[in-house]
């Protein structure tokens, strides 16, 4: 087979795969059962799986203090490698360098991997939150995640033994980077745009995806199948919605759907950069960044995630941003439009967002037909009708079109 025409993984000529298989897996699993246990949160477990499958190429394990601080402060490892968000593992006690530990999922109690400790260190959690999330507000779900971490961070290289329940529970959706790259190679694609999803696809998502298809060989609809915040629509329902939409409204050989095992951090601009790094590892040349990418509430401006891409230094990231303006349904235009294409006023526009859709559905309100395709709405209505406990969905300016739109 000739040299791949796909983009190289981040900071490497090949994927850094830390997931063991065959005899190596068997031997390491046997050894792991006798090692001291370190229990991981779902966020840490997702990070470990991404390390295993090469999604976090070229990382070899959880970050030490020097890398942690440099990533928080400068968005780069101590080696100079661009990396926007710390990948760390916390523990309630200090462990000596050289100690080998068995990594356990707190959710499933499964052995996920092993790690050789190179360093144990304490961190300033407020420093991390202020740098990564641009806030220390305890209401921010990403801040809560960091503040609930244990006292010590453990650093060191890992060997990964499991992908947890993702390959079985999300069979046909969950993918390794090697698998998505193989599909792109087989289709002869060279330019691939990634669409990040944590919500079912409403019309704006569909519109973004189709704009991307027009200017590239294909679109990779890549959805998060890890944990979300309360009130978000669970992955299995979202998968069903996306599959229905792709089946009925997309040209089949121009779209690939996939899923990845991370929890959302809700880090807005910095998470947009992380999304681009691992999409490059999955084989994508472009990352779609629209309104309020990976945001939550009013913590970030609607286009902060685009602005941060423009500020990157040369050579930081090969995967390029595909920036797309605020999109909406315009009744006068008679279809989807953006601030760049529609001359009409706010009174003629229906602003579409995952938050607004979740709020309408959770409160049993009427959802305008222009919000999403009927097939998708039917699935969502059925899901919400079956809920016994409702979570209040708070609206914010970016979800309603009320926030002032500023683009430099």
Task: Give the pLDDT confidence of 290-325 residue by residue, as tens digits.
Answer: 988 999 989 999 999 999 999 999 999 999 999 999
| CA atoms within a 13 Å half-sphere pointing along the CA-CB vector of 269 | 21
Residue position matching structure tokens 């990070």? 47
Helices 65-74 & 125-132 angle (0-180, nearest 10): 40
Residue 366 has a pLDDT of 78
Task: Give the pLDDT confidence of 16-54 residue by residue, as tens digits.
Answer: 999 999 999 999 999 999 999 999 999 999 999 999 999
Under-50 pLDDT residues of the chain? 1, 395, 397, 399-400, 403-408
- List 43, 198, 270, 291, catalytic entry: 198
Q: How many residues does the chain have?
A: 408
Q: Is 279 tagged catalytic?
A: no
Separation of alpha carbons 346 and 337, rounded Å: 12
Task: List phi, psi (to 5°) of 354.
Answer: -60, -35
Share of the chain above pLDDT 90, in %: 79
- List 131, 153, 199, 281, catalytic entry: 199
Separation of alpha carbons 202 and 200, rounded Å: 6
DSSP string, 298-347: TSS-TTHHHHHHHTPPTTS-SSEEEE---EEEETTTTEEEETTT--S-GG
Task: Give the pLDDT confidence of 247-296 residue by residue, as tens digits.
Answer: 999 999 999 999 999 999 999 999 999 999 999 999 999 999 998 899 99
Q: Is 373 tagged catalytic?
A: no
**Ordered structural domains, the chain, with CATH:** 22-166 (3.10.400.10)
Q: Which of these, 289, 267, 281, lies nearest to 43 by C-alpha position?
A: 267
């Amino acid at each position: 087979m000739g040299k791949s025409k796909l983009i190289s993984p981040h900071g490497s000529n090949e994927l850094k795969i830390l997931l063991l298989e065959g005899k190596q897996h068997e031997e390491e699993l046997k050894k792991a059962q006798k090692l001291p246990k370190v229990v991981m949160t779902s966020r840490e477990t997702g990070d470990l799986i991404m390390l295993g499958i090469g999604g976090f190429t070229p990382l070899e394990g959880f970050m030490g203090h020097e890398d942690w601080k440099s990533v928080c402060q400068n968005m780069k490892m101590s080696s100079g490698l661009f990396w926007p968000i710390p990948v760390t593992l916390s523990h309630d006690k200090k462990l000596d360098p050289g100690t080998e530990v068995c990594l356990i999922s707190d959710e499933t109690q499964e052995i996920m991997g092993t790690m050789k400790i190179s360093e144990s260190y304490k961190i300033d959690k407020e420093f991390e939150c202020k740098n990564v999330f641009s806030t220390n507000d305890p209401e921010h779900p990403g801040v809560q995640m960091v503040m609930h971490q244990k006292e010590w961070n453990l650093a060191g290289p890992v060997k990964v033994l499991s992908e947890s329940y993702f390959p079985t529970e999300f069979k046909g959706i969950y993918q390794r980077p090697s698998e998505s790259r193989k599909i792109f190679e087989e289709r002869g694609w060279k330019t691939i745009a990634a669409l990040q999803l944590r919500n079912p696809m409403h019309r704006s998502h569909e519109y973004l995806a189709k704009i991307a298809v027009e200017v590239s060989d294909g679109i990779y609809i890549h959805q998060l199948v890890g944990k979300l915040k309360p009130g978000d629509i669970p992955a299995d329902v979202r998968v069903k919605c996306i599959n229905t939409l792709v089946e009925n409204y997309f040209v089949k050989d121009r779209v690939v759907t996939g899923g990845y095992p991370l929890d959302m951090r809700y880090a807005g601009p910095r998470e947009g950069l992380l999304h681009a790094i691992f999409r490059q590892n999955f084989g994508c040349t472009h990352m779609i960044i629209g309104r309020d990418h990976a945001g939550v509430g009013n913590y970030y401006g609607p286009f902060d995630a685009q602005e941060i891409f423009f500020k990157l230094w040369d050579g930081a990231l090969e995967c390029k941003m595909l920036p797309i303006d605020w999109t909406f349904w315009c009744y006068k235009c008679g279809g989807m439009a953006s601030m760049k294409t529609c001359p009409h006023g706010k009174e003629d526009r229906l602003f579409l967002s995952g938050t607004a859709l979740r709020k309408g559905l959770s409160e049993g309100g009427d959802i305008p037909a222009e919000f999403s395709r009927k097939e998708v709405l039917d699935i969502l209505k059925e899901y919400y009708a079956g809920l016994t406990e409702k979570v209040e969905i708070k609206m914010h300016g970016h979800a309603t079109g009320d926030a002032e739109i500023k683009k430099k």
